[in-house]
Structures are given as C-alpha cells and as structure tokens.
Structure 1
Amino acid sequence: MKKGIYKLSVDCGRSGDLEGVFIATDVQVKALIDSKIEVYFGEILGKHSEVYGAIEKKEVKLLTQDINAIEVVEKYNLSNGVNPFDYGFINFEIKGVNIEDITVGEVIDLLIKSSKK
C-alpha cells in the first residue's frame, strides 16, 4: 500500500462540479472504485441538489506518491475540497456486518481488511 495525493473531479452536469485534493493509499482508491459504493454527498451543491453516486476511475487522478509532498500536505493540513472517504453512502451492504452510521472510508477499510483473510 502506497500513499498518494489524489485529485477528485466529478462533473455533476449543470448543477456544478465536485473537486478535492486528498491523501489515500492506492489500495483504498482501487477499492473505492471497484466496490462501486455510492457516496452520498447530500446537498453539497445547494438546496435540493441531492448528489450521490459511485466514483469512477476517470474521476480520480493520482497527482504524486512523492513522500516529501505527502508529508507537507499532512503536516500543514493542505487537503482541501471533497474527500469521498469522509462522506456517507447509500445502497451498499456487507453481508453479516452492520455498517450503519459509518463513512465510506471506514467501509472501504473493512472491505480491504476482509479481502486479506
């Protein structure tokens, strides 16, 4: 698992765009995309916008895996905008596991952990 700085760019049509820069591992990003979990952003683009959906590969770009850059972003809290791992989700279940009231990031970590068994 290698950490990286990623950029999220989601086109929501005429409602607007979601953008963010965040740190995650390559395994977390792959699991996010492969699981097709629908991230629930709520009314992030204004009242009644109700934005949700699975994150596609074309919407996430690896900016760098340079350890020095990652350390600077972490040290000075330079992540900004939308981080899909920080939001809730809809229409997703893990058989035999209660995943109510947790974030997408926590679900992804559970999926990664269960795949290692």
Structure 2
Amino acid sequence: MRSVLPVVRISVTSATELRPGMTYWDISVSLPKSEFGVKKCKYLEHDISSDGIRTSQKLAEKVLNLPLPKTQNGVQSFHRSLNYYAKYIRDLPVLAATLCEAPDEQTVADEI
C-alpha cells in the first residue's frame, strides 16, 4: 500500500542525492504535479516553508471576522474549533479564558 503525501521536505545538498532518499522512503513523484526549489508552498490554506507552517493571511482574516457566539452551544463550538488553531495563536489560553468568564446573563441557553 502506498501513501500519498501532498508535501514532502527532503534536505539534500544536490539533486543527485534526491533520488536515493526518495527510493529509501518509497516516494514516487509525478513531475508535472511537482515543484522543486520553491521556498514556500500553500496547502489547505496554510503556508509551508523552511520556517515552519503558518496560517495564510486569507484564513486569518476569516477567523478574525467570525461572528461572536451568542449561545452556550455557540461558545462551546467556538472553543472546539480553536483547538486546531491553538498552535498558531499566541496566548490562546488567556484569550479563551475571557470567554469562559462571561456572565451567565450574557449567554442564552439553547432550546432543544
């Protein structure tokens, strides 16, 4: 069984070292779909480079423009969605704690 990896970073000093590394890891390459020597690529609205993975500006704007949750379930859903982005947001625990401290009269219980 073969796995398909969308982004693979292999550190080599020359192109001749690339093939043995790919053979060792059993990686097949489709040349028309591949890019070599790029400093940054986009994948699932993230920028991947030698500096690491960063959220793209487009995705950051979407998150910043989210409407504030008005119900208890909305706040819980918002917290769950932040779990994924925790590594990209500095001081997330401090920011999330302020949502948890909202008085009960500011949130309306969802009616089921």
Bin of the TM-score, shorter chain as denominator length: under 0.3
Give the greater-gyration-radius structure (CA).
Answer: 2
Larger relative contact order (CA 8 Å, sep ≥ 6): 1
TM-score relative to the length of structure 1: 0.22
More helix by share: 2
TM-score relative to the length of structure 2: 0.23
